[in-house]
Amino acid sequence: MLSLSNLNSFYGRSQALHDVSMSAPSGTILAVLGRNGVGKTTLLRSILGLTDRQSGDVVLDGQNISADATYRRARAGIAYVPQGRMIIPDFTIRENILMGGFAAQGPRAIPEIVPKIFPYLMENLDRPGGVLSGGQQQQLAIARALASGPKVLLMDEPTEGIQPNIVEQIEDIIIRLNAELGLTILLVEQNVKFARRAAQNFTMLENGRVVADGAIADLTEETVTKHMAI
């Protein structure tokens, strides 16, 4: 579904990713792990073409999209739930969700699954996004991404900064999106326990390079300690 080959990515003259290669088969969750500042967010931004310069290949469904502008990558089927959620606080819940529909192939609409997994959002469509709690804003960011009808969902630490009683709910929703919609998900995560529960495969980054990868069952405590312990 999504594969990267020798991907290098730059901010100005600074190289952030070095020959990164990985793949996420269709309908799977790939956990992207590593300490803070090792290039995980840059990886997701690079897949969408949001860094200053890139080389290497980004292939989606057999099509090389490396030369495509960000909006074309979005329309090809890649959606992004960024770290910090980045909803528009003065827009209503409805407007925030429908904004994601600009990348959809058909008319903009609230996805059918949203009322099932986010009933609170549907009951409060005319409330401003800025009055929502952190967990509710994360739900809104996910609903906005789903409005584009994606094939691949990029999620950057989706449980960070969320009240503890909501974290497990968000985790369960991510697993459900994968299971029920067949979404391929790249999950940047610090919570190794959740990564082991949700993902089929993992990639470990260190200083912008892949230092370990494989089936999630092969993610050892030694690897976690070596590359994630502070």
Query: What is the tens place of the pLDDT at every residue in 81-111?
Result: 998 889 999 999 999 999 998 877 777 889 9
* Domains of the chain with CATH codes: 2-90+151-228 (3.40.50.300)
| 39 exposure class (CB count in 10 Å sphere: 0-12, 13-18, 19+) | buried
pTM as predicted = 0.93
Residues 37-85 pLDDT 10s: 999 999 999 999 999 999 999 999 999 999 999 999 999 999 999 988 8
CB 115 within 8 A of CB 122: yes
β-strands 201-206, 29-33 pairing: parallel
